[in-house]
Amino acid sequence: MTGEPTHLQALNPMQYEAVTTLQGPLLILAGAGSGKTRVLTRRIAHLLYEGIDPENVFAVTFTNKAAAEMKERVEELVGEAGRNVWISTFHSACARILRQEIEALGYTKRFAIYDDEDSKRIVKEIVARWGYDEEDYMRPRKVLSRIDRYKCRMLTPEQVVAQHLAHTYDATLRVWNDYEDQLRAADAIDFNDLIGHTVRLFTEHPDVLERWRDRFHYLLVDEYQDTNKGQYRLLRLLTGARRNLAVVGDDDQSIYGFRGADIENILGFERDFPDAKVIRLEQNYRSTGHILDAANQVIQANRHRKEKALWTAAGMGRKVTLVQRRDPGDEAEWVARGLLQLRRRGFTWQDMAIVYRTNATSRIFERALQRHRIPHKIVGSRKFYERREVRDVLGYLRLVTNPADDAAFLRVCNVPTRGIGAKTLADLRDEAAGRGQPLLTTARSVGTDTDRAARALRSFVEIIDALAEASRTLDPAALVERVVVDSGYKAMVESEGKREAESRLANLVELIRDARDFEFPLEATTASDRLRAWLDRIALAGQDEEIPEGGQVTLLTVHNAKGLEYPVVFVVHMLEGQFPHERSATDEAGVEEERRLAYVAFTRARKRLVITWNREGPGTEFFGGRRQSGDGVPSRFLADLPGQAIEGDLPDLEPAMADSGPAGDREELQQRFGTFLRAHRERRAPPTDEALRLTEIEDIADLVPGRRVHHARFGVGEIRSLKGHRLLVSFTDQRVRPVSLPTEDLHLVED
């Protein structure tokens, strides 16, 4: 087929179909490593080749990294024209749309985007105001995460009640209502609102929707299995009558359930678009046979999935290596040596990755690599823009951009300290709430000139005013510099310890450089537009889009590894409690998501997959250098690995067995492992009711602290406190859980 244009060459028939079917709804079920990125980029190329205006094409991804990569590959294919295709994340796209259109919703174009920390700050204050701050159930972090879970499913407080997801008297709802009020008053929206408000904008303002529909004639969505309700509605709205919506996804790789990703969106696509064309990409071009077998076998244990099986034309390759060590230190040491050895065999550092379930795991492996001088980099640990000094400086800028941004005000008004204490702030907040004004405005006119607190506030206001003035002409980079000096921040940092100061100042210099290097969108012409565009980018992405420069081993979580591939992958800490994580493995759906995570982890590997664990447990240095409890029980997912695809150690409790190497009948050992796991699970299970004498609770007066009780789900526990209708019980698994009354799940334990 030499007559074909390059973008249609080297595609298998299914891929070809997916690239060239341009009209109408299209669902591409793309297994891991089946070339979906290739299909997406080629499809964009083909659209342009067919004469579609690049401006009319909109491709959505989930991470900025993925967007950047896709952009790059599209430009490689089509050159300059690729620059005009909208390729971005849902969140960035919505931010951009809202910056132009939000006035229709009663916000100003200056609106702030609150991050997690800002939201938490607001929630915390509300919780305190209601006097809920004594309760475990009402800890700001927890309240916010409940609100978050509702919001990402596009629910309103009323719907939550109507659907019996919470009681009308659940304090969460009260806090939530106040939270929404405060956001509006601060001319701010949170992360979920980026999607939610855009949906609202389009629903309530058909004229606006019409304009954007006219803009995007062709929609492409990557990682479709990760879309949530709001994102799905957004897509449906934008698609309109043209219905040129092409989505690519894999239900087996849905790993963002906790963020509201709704697997229904994949399963229901054909229902919503009955005429949708469905294309399956099942040929895997990434991994060798044994690796693929292992991954397939593991995922097939899930009940809720679309049946499919990846296959490869490549050879079987190496078997999957299992390695059991005595303790976490050994495990990390073994991996480090393994890296060295593979390097001697011709792999480069950037060919190799260490993949784990939780961020905390990275530390012990990082140390091992340091010991051996192995160059490495950790993806997404503490991000640059999350450093305190960076966020502080950004706080000033946000306040300059949007005087109503109370979260920013609270963050920076006393950094460096200028005599604005808790009392001053509390008074200011009351006053501001009374007047219905932002804190900054209120601070301008509160108290008298002789009042010490008022003077302190006013000196802060003056700094902000001066910066605001400067912001009208200065470019972001210069403005950052101005902030650092004029706010007194630099002086503050310099007066600190030497070591500290050095790195913090370096971070600020880095921030200035980032502002200088930022590619401003063309429509941002004024200084303040440019500042806002830069701040938006940071809010949505953070700054480190660090392209994996060569020469380093990559350490990353499974979530961060999605979409990536490496010739050699070490999946470490393959332990019960860790992988599946104990906080997820509480019900079947949770375990299934964890299993998908394992599937994602395994399918990152091209040629070599090494799975390790140790017999002591997680090497996460929890608090104070002491390690998390737990006997190292190998992950239950290992029991699903096909015997003929693995080599090396076998999961077993007996140390002698592990040391004896790969002898004996693997089938039989496999079975024993299964038996062992079952036994282990039973041992961990809450004590059965028969062993205890339980009686009904007849009087609330019986529920005194110290009383032993039994809960249907959590087992035996001891009452800690009783507040209103909420009981705090510390259970035998060391966790304290709230129990709402009345409930039939709870009984008294008679001794």
Q: Cα torsion for 173, 178, 182, 183, to the nearest 10°?
A: 20
Residues of this chain, 554-583, that bind DNA according to CB under 7 A? 557, 559-560, 581, 583
Active site residue 222: yes
Q: Which is nearer to DNA, 473 or 503 (CB)?
A: 503
Residue closer to DNA, measured from CB, 419 or 724: 419
**Rounded CA separation 31/254 (Å):** 12
CA distance 428 to 437: 11
The active-site residue, picked from 21, 37, 321, 358, is: 37
The closest alpha carbon to 149, from 251, 72, 50, 229, belongs to 229
124 binds DNA, rule: CB under 7 A: yes
Identified catalytic residue from 172, 253, 578, 612: 253
Give the separation between CA 100 and CA 595, rounded to whole angstroms. 42
Q: Which is nearer to DNA, 19 or 171 (CB)?
A: 171
Nearer to DNA, 274 or 625 (CB): 625
407 binds DNA (CB under 7 A): no
Interface residue with DNA among 41, 63, 296, 603 (CB under 7 A) is 63
How many other C-beta atoms lie within 10 A of the C-beta of residue 14?
18
Cα separation, 667 vs 665, whole angstroms: 5
Helix count and strand count (H, E) for the chain: 29, 21
To the nearest whole angstrom, how small is the minimum distance from the Cβ of residue 560 to DNA? 5
Going by C-alpha positions, the residue among 515, 193, 190 that lies closest to residue 385 is 515
Of the candidates 222, 366, 616, 649, the residue annotated as catalytic is 222
Residues 584-623 touching DNA, rule: CB under 7 A, are 584, 620-623
The binder of DNA chosen from 17, 22, 161, 258 (CB under 7 A): 258
Expressed in percent and rounded to 5, the helix, strand and coil fractions of the chain are 50, 15, 35
Q: Is 420 in the site for DNA (CB under 7 A)?
A: yes
Which of 17, 75, 116, 529 is the binder for DNA (CB under 7 A)? 116
Q: Please select the residue that binds DNA; options are 15, 41, 56, 89, rule is CB under 7 A.
A: 89
Nearest to DNA of 121, 242 (CB atom): 121
Give the span between the Cα atoms of 466 and 461, in whole angstroms.
Answer: 9
Q: Which is nearer to DNA, 562 or 607 (CB)?
A: 562
- Quote the CA–CA distance of 402 and 112 in Å, as a whole number: 7
23 is catalytic: no
CB closer to DNA out of 155 and 291 = 155
Q: Is 456 in the site for DNA (CB under 7 A)?
A: yes
What token pair was written down for 429? Answer: 């907040």
Catalytic residue among 604, 606, 607, 608: 604
Q: Report if residue 91 touches DNA, rule: CB under 7 A.
A: yes
Which x/- pattern, by CB under 7 A, does the window 618-647 give for DNA? --xxxxxx----------------------
Q: Which of 64, 156, 283, 730 binds DNA (CB under 7 A)?
A: 64
The site for DNA, by CB under 7 A, has a size of 45
Concatenated DSSP letters of 182-194? HHHHTTEE-HHHH
Question: Rounded to whole angstroms, how far apart are CA atoms 319 and 362?
Answer: 25
Asked if residues 397 and 489 have their Cβ atoms less than 8 Å apart, the reply is: no
90 binds DNA (CB under 7 A): yes
What part of residues 134-193 is at the interface with DNA (CB under 7 A)? 141, 191
Please tell me whether residue 414 binds DNA under the rule CB under 7 A: yes
> Minimal distance in Å, beta carbon 507 to DNA?
13
Q: Which of 8, 267, 360, 653 binds DNA (CB under 7 A)?
A: 360
Per the residue annotation, which of 125, 148, 223, 293 is the catalytic one?
223
For the segment 193-252, give every residue that binds DNA (CB under 7 A).
Answer: none
142 is catalytic: no
Phi, psi angle pair for 322, to nearest 5°: -105, 135
Side chain identity, residue 583: R
Known catalytic residue at 604: yes
**Residue 9, phi then psi, degrees to nearest 5:** -85, 160
| Smallest distance, DNA to C-beta of residue 12, A | 30
Q: Tell me: does residue 661 bind DNA (CB under 7 A).
A: no
401 part of the active site? no
Residue written as token pair 């006997």 = 631
Task: Report if residue 265 touches DNA, rule: CB under 7 A.
Answer: no
Cα–Cα–Cα angle for 448, 451, 457, rounded to 5 degrees: 85
The amino acid at 340: L
Candidates 168-176, 244-252, 423-431, 658-666 — which segment interacts with DNA by CB under 7 A? 423-431
Q: Which residue shows structure tokens 């299995």?
A: 225
Q: What are the strands, taking DSSP E only, across 142-244?
A: 188-189, 218-221
Residue type at 620 in one-letter notation: T
- Is 286 catalytic? The answer is no
CB of 670 to DNA, least distance (A): 27
State residue 46 phi and psi, 5-degree precision.
-70, -40
409 counts as binding DNA under rule CB under 7 A: no
Cis ω for the linkage preceding 655 (within 30 of 0): no
Contact by Cβ (8 Å): 747, 734:
no
Question: Torsion-angle region of residue 401: left (phi > 0), alpha (psi -120 to 50) or beta?
Answer: alpha
* Structural contact between residues 360 and 620, judged by C-beta atoms closer than 8 angstroms: yes
Q: What is the separation, in whole angstroms, between the first and last Cα of the chain?
A: 82
Contact track, DNA, 474-513, x by CB under 7 A: ----------------------------------------
217 vs 377, beta carbon nearer DNA: 377
Annotated catalytic residues are 36-37, 222-223, 253, 604
Site for DNA, rule CB under 7 A: 62-64, 89-91, 116, 124, 141, 191, 255-256, 258-259, 357-360, 380, 388, 414, 417, 419-424, 427, 453, 456, 540, 542, 557, 559-560, 581, 583-584, 620-625
